[in-house]
């Protein structure tokens, strides 16, 4: 078999892998992407993005930079793939008391949040929604239909003959000071964007990737008729035809993709708490998010080789983090721009990788 010479091998076609691969494409780099398509939390994700931590009314770390990169990135990718998968819409956060109303006003007055939080409460009555204290409106929010994105991107990779659907065999990877080799591929660098599968990776398995299982429902609610994201104990995202994504649970113990009765019960209780309408459960899915205990991502090169890199730990905010971190890692590799300590894997001094 003839050798294939490329700039990069990328392992994974979840959000992290797609964002990095597309950065390579925009820079004119050549690549081969490998994925077994067996397990990706991105396929099951709600895909919601918002700039505010709604439990504490605080802004997300570097969210301004993330938005400035992510929104044009997805818009350009839609044009390239000929698919619609990013939907911008406001988010209404249900308020539960006068105290929460006051906390909202206080937060909306802060310089770092005034751009994102409306100072006026929304008191519109929404048919079938219990909201005696109204809603706070968050701007610069929406969702990405991740399943549509991933399927379209894999089709694009196949079309340009840069995709291999297979299990990655770590025993077949070798490296020198100047390159890496995998089977019949020789590349300048390899980037692992495997999500929770990183725990099987001999170069990075000692990093503290924890993994948080999340379960999501797709429900049909014919009489709800909203075109906003509704956030209460659960989130409701309208996806058309009276269908809504409802999520999400957080389980730090179970690391399987199997749906559970407990998860279903939690989601149904959360849905009934906010919506007093008849509904039908259409689908129930689960996946393990690649989370890290300090809630910061994992970027950087292996101590064994400057040619072997990781992009992981996007957690629950992968839609915004993905394009932002892909740019950071690319600049680190190609321009020797140092990674900030709180996103670099080398903040973990005691781990061997």
Q: Give me the DSSP letters along 310-341.
A: EEE--GGGHHHHHHHHHHHHHHHHHH-PPPPT
Structure tokens at 91: 């988010």
- Asked if 13 and 194 touch (Cβ cutoff 8 Å), the reply is no
Give per-residue pLDDT as tens, 121-170.
Answer: 999 889 999 899 999 999 999 999 999 999 999 999 999 999 999 999 99
Which distant-in-sequence residues (6+ apart) come within 8 Å of 161 by Cβ?
none
217, containing H or E segment = strand 212-220
How many residues are there in the chain?
A: 353
Which distant-in-sequence residues (6+ apart) come within 8 Å of 171 by Cβ?
none
Give the torsion sign (CA, 337, 341, 344, 346). Answer: positive
Cis? peptide before 248, omega within 30° of 0: yes
Give per-residue pLDDT as tens, 158-200.
Answer: 999 999 999 999 999 999 999 999 999 999 999 999 998 999 9
Distances (CA, A) of 320 to 76, 124, 180: 15, 29, 30
Identify the CA nearest to 89 among candidates 145, 129, 39. 145
Rounded Cα–Cα distance for residues 237 and 249 (Å): 15
Select from 3.40.50.300, 1.25.60.10, 3.50.50.60, 1.10.240.10 the CATH code of 2-43+145-207+293-349. Answer: 3.50.50.60
Identify the CA nearest to 211 among candidates 320, 314, 98. 314
Where are the domains positioned within the chain? Answer: 2-43+145-207+293-349, 89-142+208-287
Rounded Cα–Cα distance for residues 82 and 59 (Å): 33
Structure tokens at 10: 């990328």
- Asked if 67 and 206 touch (Cβ cutoff 8 Å), the reply is no
pLDDT by residue for the chain (353 residues), tens only, comes to: 567 899 999 999 999 999 999 999 999 999 999 999 886 666 677 899 999 999 888 999 999 999 999 999 999 999 999 999 999 999 999 999 999 999 999 999 999 999 999 999 999 889 999 899 999 999 999 999 999 999 999 999 999 999 999 999 999 999 999 999 999 999 999 999 999 899 999 999 999 998 899 999 999 999 999 999 999 999 999 999 999 999 999 999 999 999 999 999 999 999 999 999 999 999 999 999 888 988 899 999 999 999 999 999 998 899 999 999 999 999 999 999 999 999 999 998 765 54
Which distant-in-sequence residues (6+ apart) come within 8 Å of 118 by Cβ?
108, 136, 137, 138, 139
Structure tokens at 31: 């690549």
Cβ count near 302 (within 10 Å): 19
Identify the CA nearest to 330 among candidates 73, 92, 41. 73
2-43+145-207+293-349 against 89-142+208-287: fold identical: no
Superfamily of domain 89-142+208-287: D-Amino Acid Oxidase, subunit A, domain 2 (3.30.9.10)
Give the torsion sign (CA, 65, 71, 72, 76). Answer: positive
Crossing angle (nearest 10°) for helices 15-26 and 146-159 = 50
């Amino acid at each position: 078999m003839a050798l294939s010479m490329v700039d990069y091998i990328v392992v994974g076609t979840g959000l992290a892998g797609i964002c990095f691969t597309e950065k390579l494409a925009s820079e004119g780099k050549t690549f081969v992407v490998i994925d077994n398509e067996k397990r990706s939390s991105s396929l099951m994700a709600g895909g919601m993005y918002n700039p505010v931590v709604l439990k504490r009314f605080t802004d997300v770390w570097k969210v301004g930079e993330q938005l400035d990169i992510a929104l044009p990135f997805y818009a350009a990718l839609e044009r390239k793939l000929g698919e619609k998968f990013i939907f911008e819409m406001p988010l209404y956060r249900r308020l539960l008391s006068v105290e929460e109303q006051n906390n909202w006003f206080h937060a909306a007055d802060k310089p770092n949040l005034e751009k994102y939080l409306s100072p006026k409460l929304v008191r519109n009555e929404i048919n079938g929604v219990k909201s005696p204290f109204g809603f706070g409106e968050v701007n610069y929010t929406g969702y990405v239909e991740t399943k549509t994105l991933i399927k379209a991107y894999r089709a694009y990779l196949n079309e340009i003959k840069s995709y291999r659907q297979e299990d990655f065999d770590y025993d077949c990877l070798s490296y020198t000071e100047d390159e890496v080799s995998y089977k019949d591929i020789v590349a300048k660098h390899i980037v692992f964007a495997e999500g929770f599968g990183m725990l099987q990776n001999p170069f990075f398995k000692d990093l503290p990737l924890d993994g948080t299982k999340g379960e999501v429902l797709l429900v049909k609610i014919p009489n709800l008729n909203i075109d906003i994201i509704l956030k209460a104990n659960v989130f409701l995202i309208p996806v058309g035809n009276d269908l809504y994504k409802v999520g999400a649970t957080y389980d730090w113990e179970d690391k399987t993709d199997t749906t559970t009765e407990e998860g279903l019960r939690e989601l149904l209780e959360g849905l009934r708490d906010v919506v007093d309408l008849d509904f039908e459960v259409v689908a129930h899915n689960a996946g393990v998010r690649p989370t890290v205990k300090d809630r910061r991502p994992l970027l950087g090169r292996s101590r064994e080789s400057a040619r072997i890199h990781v992009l992981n730990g996007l957690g629950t905010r992968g839609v915004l983090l993905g394009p932002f971190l892909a740019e950071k890692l690319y600049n680190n590799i190609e321009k020797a721009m140092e990674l900030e300590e709180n996103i670099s894997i080398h903040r973990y001094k005691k781990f061997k990788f």
